[in-house]
C-alpha cells in the first residue's frame, strides 16, 4: 500500500454539525481541511455550480444538472454535448465532449490524434461525487484558468449514467453515506445494477454506454463510485485490472505512471489516497484484505477483457460529500495531466494488449496470498448488541495503522482454454449475436453452407441458481468437449478470435467463464426436454434394439449390475430411449461451436 500523508487527519474525532440526517447513527468523523478547498467558488459567483450554490451538501437533480451544463456548453467553443441514448423511462443520457478544437463528433475528435479520457459518474446514481466534481472541472477549463488541460488530451464526461435512478432521489436512500442531502437509487428503473451488466448488456443504459465506447474510442475509462463497508483513513481509493489479467501492459502503465502521479496530487491537496479496500471480515481486520481481480460484469473487469484501461474510483462513504467531491476533482484534473504527459505510452500499452493474442486464456481464477499491506485504518472495538444479540463493530474515529495485514487475491489462473481460431453461433441465437454486436465484436455470417470439423461442449448435471440474480437465472454445468463434423447452414455467425476484442469474445462464449452468456442463462432452453416416448412404444423398441445389437445387449447387462438402476423401471426405459434414433440429439449440447 502506497505511503500517503496523514496531515489532513486531526488527533481526535469531531462530530461537526452537518446537514446529513444519518450523521447521528454513523461512526465519528474527522474534521478535514485541504488545499483542494481553494477550488471552491463563492456561491454568488456567476459560474458557481449547484453544488457550490447550495452549501456544498446538495447535488442538483437531472433537470438542473442538464440546464447548468447546457449553459456552460453554449458559453464555450471548447465544449459540445450529445445524447448517447434514452433511458428506459425516456430521459436522455448526456455526454459532454471537451476538446481544444471543440469537436462535436467522434470523427472530429479522432482527427486531433490526442488520447481521450472518458469519465462516467452516477452508474450508481446515489454515488454521485463524479458529477459535481466534473462540473467544477469543466467550468474551470472553460471559464477559469485551466484551458491548457485540453492542449494534449480530450475529455468525455457523462455526468449521470443511471438517469432514472438519479431521479428516484431521497434523503433516506443511502444510510451508510454522508451526503449529498438527497441521493439517487442504486439500481435502475428495472431494479437492475448497471455495474453488474457489462458482460450481458441487459440494460439500455449499458448498451448505450458500450456503443459510445465503440464510437468515441476512449483510451482511459474512469468509473466514479462511493464505497460501502468498513471505516478507514483513505478518502479516495481506486483500482484497476491485475497484472495477471488480460491487459498486463495497461496494468504496468497504470502502476508506473498513473497511480504515483495521482496519489501525489491527492496527497498534496490534503487527501489520503489508497488502493481499493475490501476487508475479508468487516468485524475482524486482522484476517486481512482482499485484492480484487474483477470479472467482466464489472466496469474495471470489462475494461481488462476488452483492453480499455479502466479505473474504478471508490470514494469513502463515511467522508463528507464536500471532501469526496474535492478529492474527485483533484483526481480528474491529475488524470488529464498524466495522460497528456504519458499518452503515447498509454496508447502503446493498449496496442500491445490488443494484439498479444495469448494462446492460453484463463477462464477462472484461484485465490492466493499476496504481499501484505500496511493499512491506514480506524480503531474499533466489538460490543455485544442488545438489539441483534451478537457482536457489532464500534468505530472510534481514531487513526490507526495496521501493519502488514495479510492480503488474498484471485490472481492465479485456474481453468484455461486454448484460443480457437473461430466460434460459430447459429443464427437463431439472435439475442447473443445482438449483444456481441453491441460489444463491438466483429462477426461474419456464412454466405454458403460449410461442412467443418469442429468441437462442441456437451453438458451434464446443470445447476440453476435458486434465486434470481440481476433479472436472470444463472446456471453452471459440468462439460465435456467432443469433436464433431457438421454442416453449418447459411447465416451461421463466424467469429474470429484474431481481433482486438477476441479475448472478450472468448470470455463471453466459453461456458466455464463466470460471465459467459451461458452462465448468465442465455442458453437455458437447451436444458428443456420437448419430445418424449411413451412406455408402450419404448418396450417393443428396446426388445428390437437388444435383438439386433449384441454389443448393446452386453452393455445393458452390465448396467443391470447397478442395483439402483436395475430397480428403477423408468431409468431402464430411458436408457434405451437415449440410445435410440428418436432421442433429441441437441439436448444439453452447447449450440456455439468452436474450431479445433
35 vs 333: CA distance, rounded Å: 14
15 has pLDDT over 50: no
Q: How confident is the model at residue 7 (pLDDT cuts 50, 70, 90)?
A: very low
> What are the two backbone dihedrals, phi and then psi, of residue 470, each rounded to the nearest 5 degrees?
55, 40
14 has pLDDT over 50: no
Predicted pLDDT at 30: 84
- Portion of the chain with pLDDT greater than 90, in percent: 94
Question: What angle, rounded to 10 degrees, do the helices at 569-578 and 535-548 form?
Answer: 60
Mean pLDDT value of segment 54-74: 98
**Residue by residue, what is the 3-state secondary structure of 71-82?**
HHHHHCCCEEEE
Q: What is the mean pLDDT of the chain?
A: 95
pLDDT digits (tens, 9 = 90+) for 247-296: 999 999 999 999 999 999 999 999 999 999 999 999 999 999 999 999 99
Q: Which of 20, 362, 340 has the alpha carbon at shortest distance from 170? A: 20
Predicted pLDDT at 531: 84
226 vs 186: CA distance, rounded Å: 11
Q: Is the distance from CB of 97 to CB of 104 less than 8 angstroms?
A: yes
| CB-based contacts of 200, cutoff 8 Å, min separation 6 | 297, 435, 470, 472, 515, 517, 520, 522
Its pTM stands at 0.93
452 vs 421: CA distance, rounded Å: 13
Query: Which range among 58-62, 500-504, 535-539 shows the weakest confidence by mean pLDDT?
Result: 535-539
Instruction: List helix spans (H) across 371-497.
Output: 430-439
- Portion of the chain with pLDDT greater than 70, in percent: 97
Predicted pLDDT at 353: 98
Query: Which range among 249-253, 318-322, 578-582 shows the weakest confidence by mean pLDDT?
Result: 578-582
Binning the chain into helix, strand and coil, the percentages to the nearest 5 are 35, 25, 45
| CB-based contacts of 462, cutoff 8 Å, min separation 6 | 475, 476, 477, 527, 588
Q: How confident is the model at residue 1 (pLDDT cuts 50, 70, 90)?
A: very low
DSSP character string of 481-540:
EEEEEEEEPTTPEEEESSSTTHHHHHHHHSTTSTTSTTTTTTTGGGG-------HHHHHH
Predicted pLDDT at 229: 87
Neighbours of 220 (CB within 10 A): 27
Q: Is the distance from CB of 596 to CB of 453 less than 8 angstroms?
A: yes
DSSP character string of 172-240:
TS-TTS---SSB--SS-TTS--GGG-TTT--SHHHHHHHHHHHHH--SEEEEEEE--S--BS-SEEEE-
Q: Is the distance from CB of 174 to CB of 21 less than 8 angstroms?
A: no
pLDDT digits (tens, 9 = 90+) for 421-478: 999 999 999 999 999 999 999 999 999 999 999 999 999 999 999 999 999 999 999 9
Question: What angle, rounded to 10 degrees, do the helices at 129-142 and 62-75 form?
Answer: 20
Predicted pLDDT at 18: 55
Q: How far is Cα of residue 444 from the mean position of the Cα atoms in its chain?
A: 28
Q: Is the distance from CB of 139 to CB of 47 less than 8 angstroms?
A: yes
**What cell numbers appear for 292 in the block?**
480484487
Torsion over CA: 48, 53, 59, 61 (sign): negative
Predicted pLDDT at 396: 95
DSSP character string of 95-127:
EEEE-TT---SHHHHHTT---EEEEEE-SSTT-
Mean pLDDT value of segment 54-73: 98
Chain position carrying cell 471480515 = 281
β-pairing, 416-418 vs 360-362, is: antiparallel
Amino acid at each position: 500500500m502506497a505511503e500517503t500523508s496523514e496531515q489532513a487527519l486531526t488527533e481526535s474525532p469531531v462530530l461537526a454539525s452537518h446537514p446529513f440526517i444519518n450523521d447521528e447513527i454513523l461512526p465519528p468523523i474527522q474534521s478535514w481541511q485541504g488545499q483542494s478547498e481553494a477550488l471552491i467558488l463563492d456561491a454568488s459567483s456567476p459560474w458557481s455550480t449547484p453544488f457550490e450554490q447550495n452549501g456544498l451538501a446538495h447535488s442538483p437533480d437531472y433537470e438542473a444538472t442538464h440546464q447548468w451544463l447546457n449553459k456552460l456548453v453554449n458559453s464555450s467553443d471548447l465544449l459540445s454535448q450529445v445524447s448517447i441514448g434514452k433511458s428506459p423511462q425516456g430521459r436522455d443520457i448526456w455526454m459532454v465532449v471537451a476538446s481544444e478544437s471543440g469537436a462535436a463528433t467522434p470523427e472530429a475528435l479522432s482527427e486531433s490524434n490526442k488520447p481521450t479520457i472518458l469519465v462516467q459518474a452516477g452508474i450508481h446514481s446515489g454515488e454521485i461525487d463524479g458529477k459535481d466534481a466534473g462540473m467544477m472541472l469543466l467550468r474551470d477549463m472553460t471559464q477559469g484558468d485551466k484551458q491548457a488541460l485540453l492542449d494534449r488530451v480530450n475529455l468525455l464526461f457523462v455526468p449521470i449514467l443511471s438517469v432514472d435512478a438519479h431521479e428516484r432521489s431521497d434523503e433516506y436512500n443511502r444510510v451508510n453515506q454522508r451526503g449529498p442531502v438527497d441521493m439517487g437509487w442504486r439500481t435502475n428503473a428495472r431494479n437492475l445494477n448497471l455495474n453488474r451488466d457489462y458482460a450481458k448488456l441487459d440494460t439500455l443504459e449499458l448498451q448505450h454506454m458500450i456503443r459510445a465506447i465503440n464510437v468515441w474510442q476512449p483510451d482511459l475509462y474512469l468509473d466514479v463510485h462511493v464505497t460501502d463497508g468498513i471505516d478507514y483513513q483513505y478518502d479516495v481509493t481506486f483500482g484497476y485490472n491485475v497484472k495477471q489479467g488480460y491487459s498486463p501492459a495497461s496494468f504496468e502503465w497504470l502502476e508506473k505512471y498513473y497511480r504515483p502521479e495521482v496519489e501525489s496530487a491527492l496527497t498534496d491537496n490534503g487527501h489520503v489516497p489508497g488502493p481499493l479496500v475490501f476487508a475479508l471480515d468487516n468485524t475482524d481486520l486482522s484476517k486481512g484484505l482482499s485484492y480484487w481481480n474483477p470479472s467482466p460484469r464489472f466496469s474495471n473487469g470489462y475494461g481488462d477483457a476488452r483492453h480499455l484501461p479502466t479505473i474504478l474510483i471508490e470514494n469513502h462513504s463515511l467522508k463528507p460529500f464536500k471532501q469526496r467531491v474535492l478529492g474527485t476533482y483533484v483526481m480528474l484534473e491529475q488524470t488529464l495531466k498524466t495522460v497528456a504527459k504519458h499518452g503515447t505510452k498509454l496508447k502503446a500499452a493498449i496496442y500491445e494488449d490488443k494484439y498479444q493474442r495469448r494462446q492460453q486464456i484463463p477462464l477462472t481464477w484461484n485465490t492466493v496470498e499476496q504481499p501484505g499491506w500496511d493499512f491506514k485504518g480506524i480503531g474499533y472495538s466489538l460490543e455485544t448488541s442488545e438489539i441483534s444479540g451478537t457482536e457489532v463493530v464500534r468505530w472510534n474515529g481514531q487513526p490507526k495503522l495496521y501493519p502488514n495485514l495479510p492480503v488474498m487475491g484471485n490472481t492465479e489462473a485456474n481453468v484455461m482454454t486454448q484460443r480457437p481460431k473461430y466460434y460459430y453461433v447459429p443464427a437463431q441465437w439472435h439475442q447473443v449475436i445482438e449483444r456481441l454486436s453491441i460489444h463491438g465484436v466483429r462477426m461474419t455470417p456464412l454466405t454458403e453452407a460449410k461442412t467443418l470439423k469442429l468441437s462442441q461442449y456437451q453438458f451434464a448435471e446443470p445447476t440453476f441458481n435458486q434465486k434470481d440474480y440481476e433479472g436472470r437465472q444463472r446456471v453452471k454445468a459440468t462439460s465435456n468437449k467432443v469433436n464433431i463434423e457438421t454442416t453449418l447452414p447459411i447465416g451461421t455467425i463466424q467469429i474470429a478470435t484474431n481481433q482486438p476484442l477476441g479475448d472478450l469474445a472468448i470470455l463471453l462464449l466459453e461456458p466455464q467463464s463466470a460471465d459467459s452468456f451461458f452462465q448468465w442463462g442465455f442458453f437455458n432452453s437447451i436444458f428443456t426436454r420437448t419430445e418424449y416416448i411413451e412406455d408402450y412404444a419404448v418396450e417393443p423398441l428396446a426388445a428390437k434394439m437388444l435383438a439386433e445389437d449384441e454389443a448393446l445387449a452386453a452393455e445393458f447387462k452390465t448396467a443391470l449390475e447397478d442395483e439402483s438402476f436395475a430397480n428403477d423401471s423408468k431409468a431402464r426405459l430411458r436408457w434405451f430411449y437415449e440410445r435410440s434414433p428418436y432421442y433429441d440429439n441437441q439436448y444439453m449440447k452447447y449450440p456455439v461451436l468452436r474450431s479445433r
